[in-house]
């Protein structure tokens, strides 16, 4: 069994998947943090690996950039490979005044300017949200590890280079940060009765133009990757699937 985008056989992908945007980061995470990582996908270079973290089977799969890309990969993981939990790990641009470089943002909700929800034919505006159980696990781990973290709304934008200068309007609505994928992940999870969470290292501040150096970015990502893996572990040992 395989899909047009994923050559894995059923059973080769764990029930819990970490999902960075960059496939090379998926490889880095798998080879740095997992025991015996095995690559199950190379189609389009969108690498995916399965290994063990502290005894728990975990996969790491690149999502690519943007809502259409994560829409495809996460849908297939949930629907074709029986994945139950996806934790997106990424970078985001800070919008809120109190969100600083290197802080971790955990997305309770994901606003979007994308039309992804149109496919559901809803007579109103859908509010994509994280799995409460995964969110609770992540907050528990962040508290125990003294992480500087924020929980709240983010924006999943269809544009990286935006002509409209719209971020001030999102900031007024207390949106913490902007990235480009999570709303689709949350909608796929809702539609398929699965669990999703997204967490970010703030790599740049879009209101004042500050950004992390390459080394600072790596350190910040390291903290978040550990947070995501410990979240997966706590969720698994706590009785989640
Ligand atoms: N925009 C969208 N996504 C991002 C950004 C940004 O500025 N920074 C990191 N991910």
Query: Residue 32 has which token pair?
Result: 């740095």
User: How far is 118 from 101, CA to CA, in rounded Å?
Assistant: 34
- What pLDDT does residue 43 have? 96
State the catalytic residues. 204
- What pLDDT does residue 236 have? 85
C-alpha distances in Å from residue 144, one per residue of 29, 36, 138, 149, 151: 22, 28, 10, 12, 15
- What pLDDT does residue 214 have? 86
CB 158 within 8 A of CB 183: no
- What pLDDT does residue 237 have? 80
User: How far is 71 from 237, CA to CA, in rounded Å?
Assistant: 28
Residues of the chain below pLDDT 50: none
SS3 165: coil
Residue 43 backbone phi and psi in degrees, to 5: -60, 130
Cβ 204 under 6 angstroms from ligand 1: yes
Cβ 180 under 6 angstroms from ligand 1: yes
- What pLDDT does residue 241 have? 53
CB 155 within 8 A of CB 113: yes
Cβ 67 under 6 angstroms from ligand 1: no
- What pLDDT does residue 225 have? 97
Cβ 221 under 6 angstroms from ligand 1: no
- What pLDDT does residue 219 have? 83
Nearest residue to 102 (alpha-carbon basis) of 241, 6, 202: 202
Beta strand pairing call for 48-53 and 35-41? antiparallel
- What pLDDT does residue 55 have? 95
CA of 181 to the centre of ligand 1 (A): 10
CB 58 within 8 A of CB 18: yes
Give the total residue count for the chain. 241
Identify the residue whose C-alpha is closest to ligand 1 atom 6: 93
């Amino acid at each position: 069994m395989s899909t047009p985008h994923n050559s894995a056989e059923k059973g080769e992908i764990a029930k819990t998947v970490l999902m960075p945007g960059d496939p090379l980061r998926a490889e880095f995470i798998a080879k740095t943090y997992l025991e015996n990582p095995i690559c199950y996908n190379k189609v389009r270079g969108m690498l995916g690996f399965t290994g063990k973290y502290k005894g728990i089977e975990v996969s790491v799969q690149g999502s690519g950039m943007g809502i259409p890309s994560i829409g495809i990969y996460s849908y297939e993981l949930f629907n074709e490979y029986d994945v139950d939990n996806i934790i997106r790990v990424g970078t985001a641009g800070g919008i809120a005044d109190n969100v600083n470089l290197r802080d971790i943002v955990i997305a309770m909700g994901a606003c979007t300017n994308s039309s992804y929800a149109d496919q559901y034919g809803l007579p109103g505006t859908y509010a994509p949200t994280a799995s409460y159980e995964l969110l609770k696990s992540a907050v528990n781990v962040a508290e125990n590890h003294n992480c500087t973290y924020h929980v709240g709304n983010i924006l999943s934008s269809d544009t990286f280079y935006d002509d409209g200068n719209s971020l001030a309007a999102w900031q007024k609505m207390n949106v913490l940060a902007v990235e480009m994928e999570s709303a689709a992940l949350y909608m796929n999870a809702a539609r398929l009765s699965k669990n999703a969470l997204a967490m970010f290292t703030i790599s740049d501040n879009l209101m004042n133009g500050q950004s992390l150096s390459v080394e600072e970015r790596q350190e910040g990502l390291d903290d978040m990757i550990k947070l995501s893996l410990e979240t997966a572990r706590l969720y698994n040992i706590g009785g989640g699937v």
